[in-house]
Amino acid sequence: MSDAVLFDVDDEIAIITLNRPDSRNCLSEDVRDGLAQAWDRFEHTDGLRVAVLTGTGETFCAGGDLKEMVATGMQVPPRNMFALPYDTVQLTKPTIAAVNGAAFAGGWMIAQACDLCVADSRAKFAVTEVKVGRSSPWASPLIHMIPQRIMMEILLTGKPITAQRAYEIGLVNRIAESGDVLGTAMELAREILAGAPLSVRAARETVMLSTEMGRSAALQAARAASEHCYRSDDAQEGPAAFAQKRTPRYRGR
């Protein structure tokens, strides 16, 4: 791992931090490479169950590196240019964006790609591509998160919205007191950790299947995705612990 992206561990939580505050954590090549390595490390480390993505300084991520785009004459970005969870990077574990400041363009993109989003009360979000002659095809999954007319306005105008507005439209799960976004995200991560590992995985798969399929197909696929959970030792441990009035000891099997 380079110092462009930091990787820390707190219990079973990976904390991934964009660490280029002088360039507003833009998605320069070293940051892109660091993110790819960080997501890979998170996915393939057995003891890690949730990841929190945040940034240093006052900006979460200002988006793509426009200077690089000019220097290279970039037209259509390569499909694998950005390490996006559940898109160009295959992950099976939950992720949380802890948006500590502005999340513009590519910054919105990587926050959107995470399963959950916590925002500092002073954070702002914008899809600014129309302001610089670029496009935002990555924004298409927004239709499953926010209403169509609101999505249309955000993409057509490129104007920023506040953290409060992002919360109101359903883009953000929780708003943190200024300066405490990482603490709030860690609290949310620990709430996830309290659940049985296989149940959490099946729940996440159920949500994603439901966004990609019609009702009947999603029901059938979700039942199949839940089989491993139902047949696990943890599925017996949970009810037993409840009956015995004790804390369950989940083993993820």
Could you list the active site residues? 129
Q: Round to whole Å and give the CA distance between 205 and 115.
A: 11
3-class SS string, 103-151? EECHHHHHHHHCCEEEEECCCEEECCHHHCCCCCHHHHHHHHCCCHHHH
Q: Round to whole Å and give the CA distance between 129 and 47.
A: 38
Residues in the chain: 253
Q: Are 175 and 187 spatial neighbours (Cβ–Cβ below 8 Å)?
A: no
Strand arrangement of the beta sheet that strand 59-61 belongs to = 59-61, 102-104, 124-126, 161-162
